[in-house]
Amino acid sequence: MAVDILVVKDLSLTLNDIVFFKDISFSLKLGRTLTIIGETGCGKSLLCKSLVGLQPPGFKLAGSILFYRDCSQAVEVTTATERTMSTIRGSQIGFVFQEATASFNPLLSCGQQILHVLRSQNTGSKATLKQKTLALLEWVGFADARRLYRCYPHQLSGGMAQRLSLALALAGGPQILIADEPSYALDSVAKKEYLRLIKDLCIKNNLSLILVTHDIQEAFSYSDDILVLYAGCPAEILNNPPKKVIPSHPYTQALLDIAKAFQNFKLPQPIPGEAPAITAPPQGCRFHPRCHRAQPICRESYPGKRDLGSNHFVWCFFPNVVKQ
């Protein structure tokens, strides 16, 4: 049985009356992949940043995030000092940002960017650190690592920038890798290759991965556990989903139907309306204005967590409980 490395309980992020996300609970196990899916603006990125204490200043983070450093010593992220967190970020929890090019220093060559991280973590001779940098560049798929070492970020294509950003995240030797829509700016071919690379590196190094995406097919192909978010609230959690999963929440089902239609080159049935603004969410279940199963109770009350068994949880009054 794999050990827990990150345990999140009843996490919420608020600013005055605005709730950016709430009720978030999950546990990430060593060497496993958790995918967070949801539409743009549902709070995925804010959640990831909050996991490493990088929520915007003034925002109130409540609940608990327990990070098991080296699988033993527990650190409570929500109350940890900035000093403690700065020793965790980069070296224990690596981050691949959505916009890779914005996470580089444009004045440093690609090799120097990585050296910079290595120097802050290790004490090794100049030659050893350079060797390590070249090895990292090769790891992330750069065949000509020596040439890339001297290149500057502006000389890279989108796909190369993403791979460099992965090398930077791995340079600190983290236990957890958080990848926030890492394939966002890539074309379909590059996207598939890049996700495969991340997954392979995580398996090889026994890393735990938190992958954020809006692509449900991607989630099912690459993860062990799935958390579906809608407008800052959890909709469904699937642990160890079987290959042919039947989601219970109408939102997850709608996303999966769209993805399947696209995969078969067919016209998808859209979800009516748009996701609500986080500043003005609807009363009751946040998905009810777009839901074909909505009943009066969905407008009035917020649905609580329902356990469907086999580590499957759903936040819906009328879930689809058909099981494969």
**Interface with other proteins (CB under 8 A):** 39-41, 157-159, 185-192, 214-217, 254-255, 258-259, 261-263, 265-271, 274-275, 277
The nearer residue to other proteins, 63 or 282, going by C-beta atoms, is 282
Cβ at position 100, least distance to other proteins in Å: 14
The nearer residue to other proteins, 66 or 185, going by C-beta atoms, is 185
Closest alpha carbon to 235 in 305, 295, 291, 299 = 305
The nearer residue to other proteins, 187 or 200, going by C-beta atoms, is 187
Q: What is the CA radius of gyration of the chain?
A: 20
The nearer residue to other proteins, 41 or 173, going by C-beta atoms, is 41
Contacts (Cβ under 8 Å, ≥6 apart) of 74: 66, 67, 68
Greatest CA separation for the chain: 68
Cβ at position 157, least distance to other proteins in Å: 7
Contacts (Cβ under 8 Å, ≥6 apart) of 121: 90, 91, 171, 172, 173
Cβ at position 274, least distance to other proteins in Å: 6
Q: Look up residue 15 and give its two tokens.
A: 């600013």
What torsion, rounded to 10 degrees, do the Cα atoms 187, 192, 195, 200 define?
A: -150
The nearer residue to other proteins, 141 or 172, going by C-beta atoms, is 141
The nearer residue to other proteins, 166 or 275, going by C-beta atoms, is 275
Closest alpha carbon to 301 in 288, 318, 284, 313 = 284
- CA distance linking residue 284 with residue 274, whole number of Å: 17
Cβ at position 116, least distance to other proteins in Å: 28
Cβ at position 245, least distance to other proteins in Å: 17
Contact 12, 19 (CB under 8 A): yes
The nearer residue to other proteins, 88 or 156, going by C-beta atoms, is 156
Backbone angles phi, psi at 222, to 5 degrees: -110, 0
Give the single-character DSSP code of 56.
P
- CA distance linking residue 216 with residue 210, whole number of Å: 14
Cβ at position 323, least distance to other proteins in Å: 25
Cβ at position 267, least distance to other proteins in Å: 4
The nearer residue to other proteins, 56 or 272, going by C-beta atoms, is 272
Cβ at position 250, least distance to other proteins in Å: 12
The nearer residue to other proteins, 29 or 218, going by C-beta atoms, is 218
Hey, which residues does 66 pair with through a beta bridge?
Answer: 7, 76
The per-residue DSSP string of 213-250 comes to ES-HHHHHHH-SEEEEEETTEEEEEEES--SS----SH
Cβ at position 20, least distance to other proteins in Å: 16
Closest alpha carbon to 44 in 83, 70, 13, 67 = 13
